[in-house]
Amino acid sequence: MEQTETCYDPASNAIQTNTRMRYHNAVGTGPLGSPSSTQPKARVTYQASWQDALGRVVAAADYGTNGGVELIRSRPSPPARIYAW
């Protein structure tokens, strides 16, 4: 079971997507939570994107589980690039 939540800017551009994947041993019904919430618990991953004035995506970031902390998108511009080898 999976639940997707999409956040939009005032111009109706999708700027953040939160995906919740229900744990195999979760119990109960209703909206999926997080690993630390009440049941049904779920793994949450976060993706964000930034658009130019014409609504074209100019940058995107996949935060994964963001270290188990809810992603609060507050950056008007994309984060600096980080290269991992």
How does pLDDT run along the chain (85 residues), one tens digit per residue?
Answer: 999 999 999 999 999 999 999 999 999 999 999 999 999 999 999 999 999 989 999 999 999 999 999 998 877 788 777 655 5
Say what the pLDDT of residue 73 is: 82
Query: In the chain, what are the helix, strand and coil shares in percent, each to the nearest 5?
Result: 5, 40, 55
Tally the residues of the chain.
Answer: 85
Residue 24 is predicted with a pLDDT of 95
Helix or strand or coil: residue 57? strand
Question: What pLDDT is stored for residue 78 in this prediction?
Answer: 82
Q: What is the pLDDT of residue 85?
A: 52
* Predicted pLDDT at 80: 77
| Count of helix runs (H) and strand runs (E) in the chain | 0, 4
- The CB density around residue 63, as the number of other CB atoms within 10 Å, is 16
Q: Do residues 49 and 75 touch, judged by C-beta distance below 8 A?
A: no
